[in-house]
Chains A and B, each alone.
Chain A
């Protein structure tokens, strides 16, 4: 059975890739398996300048999940182009560059900087960041703001742009339709859900940033519901993510309407997870009566 699937800018050998921020730039995981086995890689968010991120503690375990508030620590887009992308260029591996910013201009500048390299195949526009000019409201929660940042990044980008939707939006379908009309080539969803946990001994929020993003199996039903709804409302492909641990989870995302999936938090419990999912997926597809990936995509809607 072929697991291959073609999406804008991405010829995927299989529909499995690591999610942004959970896999850095791949180096650490390359000690566990050959990165060329992956469908693609979503690299850690790039901002215009270097960012040092939040103070620690930055992560907390929660039931079947975790909270993180890394704070976009990264060396800045130019350093990523110079020091990280050449390493990934050594693999047979489509690279999706996640970009972040505090202002629309910053997003534009990161997208512009990425024109310098031919080592990326698509951009993932992370609109879950707080907009400093609009009182810190996430770009991704207001359809008009999401439209504007997508339109302006599309103007700068030389590769297809996938917009990463935030589950914190009141109406994620409205945001999805807004970014589609702004020219998005695809969607990735979902980013983390805002959450908090309190340290009983210290009597204060455990994370130093107080709030963090919830990820892992705990958010899977939310992701499935959102993908199911968005799939019906748009005509661009979706890369799904949120709590994937097993090949059955992968199939559920495909059925809901995702054309490919990303795996984040599960890499922390099992560094081999992506490879194991790729190896086991054909058996699961067959077991549930599918002859190809294409057949499974959106099959819960028929």
Chain B
């Protein structure tokens, strides 16, 4: 993990309050990044925001030396990020967390399930899986039509089904409803999204090996403060999401 000063290369709005950022990062570092890892990004340069913000790595372009993040503007920190312009400085801790260890897996067909701001890390994951010749089916869920992003990108990599909670686009309902309807074939699943979604998926797909990416409020982002813990399934211990996660095997921790 490195603490680095860099700058913004491009910024654009891709859906309702959803921002895509390309950040300049040297090739050597990009080559070490695993899908599912995140950056811990400083907000401003004063003492106003003492905590950084964790944002997943959505894509990596090694040739152009760019890293892509996609985030939703929710509170003050993400709103401030959105005011940045091309060339503005950024300070990152990168890469954080363990990521999806796909090199250690034997599979031929992966199911990717994303909800809202959990969708971005699945994009780089999908690209890496396809690169290895693994078939990818994606199910992504959003609140509403305006929130939908990356549908075309995922369609370029395999089947992609979209759900919206209010039914304004794609299938109405949750991603679990879509799994029910489409009955996709797969060996392993990879999910990222809000905890209730992950819990529902874990309960539904009990017969398959899966990997879940979790979120929690963080302090240090590097494993030193115990802010971001999640109890292990047996509740006898805990794991740190920033360091042991954010990706866990299904059944490993108690969501």
Residues of A within 8 A of B (CB): 21-24, 27-29, 31-32, 44, 52-53, 56-61, 63-66, 68, 70, 73, 216-217, 243, 245, 265-272
Contact with A along B183-227 (1 / 0, CB 8 A): 000000000000000000000000000000000111111111111
What are 22 contact pairs spanning A and B, CB under 8 A?
A23-B224, A24-B223, A28-B222, A52-B231, A53-B226, A56-B229, A56-B230, A58-B217, A63-B48, A64-B48, A68-B225, A68-B227, A70-B227, A73-B238, A217-B47, A217-B50, A245-B47, A268-B220, A268-B225, A269-B50, A271-B3, A271-B220
> How many whole Å from B54's CB to the nearest CB in chain A?
12
Which of A31, A57, A268 has the most CB atoms of chain B within a 10 A radius of its CB? A268
CB distance A70 to B225 under 8 Å? yes
Kindly list chain B residues whose C-beta atoms are within 8 Å of the C-beta of A27: 223-224
4 nearest CB pairs, A to B? A24-B224, A59-B227, A217-B47, A28-B224
**For residue B42, which residues in chain A have a CB less than 8 angstroms away from its CB?**
269-270
- Enumerate chain B residues within 8 angstroms of A65, measured Cβ to Cβ: 50
* Residues from 33 to 76 in B contacting A, C-beta threshold 8 Å: 42, 47-52
Task: Decide if B110 is an interface residue (CB 8 Å cutoff).
Answer: no
B237 surroundings in chain A (CB, below 8 A): 52
Report chain A residues within 8 Å CB of B218: 59
Q: Are A61 and B47 touching (Cβ within 8 A)?
A: no
B49 — nearest CB in chain A belongs to which residue? A61
Q: Which of A28, A265, A267 has the most CB of B within 10 A?
A: A28
Give Cα A56 to B214, complex, Å.
13
**A66 to B218 alpha-carbon distance, docked (Å):** 11
Given A32-B3, A267-B220; 20 other pairs, CB 8 A cutoff: A28-B224, A52-B238, A53-B238, A56-B227, A57-B216, A59-B217, A61-B49, A64-B50, A66-B50, A66-B51, A68-B227, A70-B225, A70-B226, A73-B229, A266-B50, A268-B220, A269-B42, A270-B3, A271-B3, A271-B220
The residue in B77, B225, B237 that gathers the most chain A C-beta atoms within 10 A of its C-beta is B225
Contacts of B243 in A (CB 8 A): 28
Q: How many whole Å from A288's CB to the nearest CB in chain B? A: 21
List of A residues within 8 angstroms of B227 by Cβ:
56, 58-59, 68, 70
Residues from chain A with Cβ under 8 Å of B90 in the complex: none
Specify the main secondary structure of chain B where it touches its partner.
loop
- Give bound CA distance, A24 to B240, whole Å: 13
CB atoms of A216 and B225 under 8 A apart: no
Assuming the A-B contacts A24-B225, A65-B50, A268-B50, are A56 and B220 also in contact, with contact meaning beta carbons closer than 8 angstroms in the complex?
A: no
Query: Interface digits, B222-255 against A, CB 8 Å rule (1 contact, 0 not)?
Result: 1111111111000001100001000000000000
Assess whether A58 is in contact with B229, with CB atoms less than 8 Å apart: yes
In the complex, how many angstroms separate the beta carbon of A37 from the nearest chain B beta carbon? Answer: 16
Main secondary structure of the interface of A (DSSP, over half): loop
Which of A31, A68, A216, A268 is close to B52, meaning CB atoms less than 8 Å apart? A268
Chain A residues with Cβ under 8 A from B223's Cβ?
A: 24, 27-28
Most buried by A among B47, B48, B52, B237: B47
- Judged by a CB distance under 8 angstroms, whether B1 is at the interface is yes
Q: How far is the CB of B59 from chain A (nearest CB, A)?
A: 26
Binary flags per residue of B75-94, CB closer than 8 Å to A gives 1, else 0: 00100000000000000010
Q: Chain B residue with minimal CB distance to A22? A: B225
- Chain A residues near B219: list those with CB within 8 A: 22, 58-59, 66, 68, 268
- Report the separation of the CA atoms of residues A276 and B200 in the bound assembly, to the nearest whole angstrom: 46
CA distance A53 to B50 in the complex (A): 23
Q: A residues within 8 A CB of B49?
A: 61, 269
Please pick, from B1, B225, B226, the residue contacting A31 in the complex, using a CB distance under 8 A. Answer: B1
Which residues of A have CB within 8 Å of B220? Answer: 22, 28, 267-268, 271
Closest to B242 in A: A28
B3 near A272 (CB under 8 angstroms)?
yes
* B230 contacts across to A, CB distance below 8 A: 56
A60 contacts B47, C-beta separation under 8 Å: no
Q: Which of A28, A44, A60, A245 contacts B217 (CB 8 A)?
A: A60
Tell me, in angstroms, the Cα distance from A44 to B230 when the chains sit together.
19
Determine whether the beta carbon of B51 is less than 8 Å from that of A56. Answer: no
Q: In whole angstroms, how far apart are the Cα atoms of A99 and B225 in the complex?
A: 16
Find the B residue at minimum CB distance from A216. Answer: B50
Report whether B52 and A269 are in contact in the complex, using a CB–CB cutoff of 8 Å: yes
Please give me the residue from chain A that is nearest to B225 by CB atom.
A22
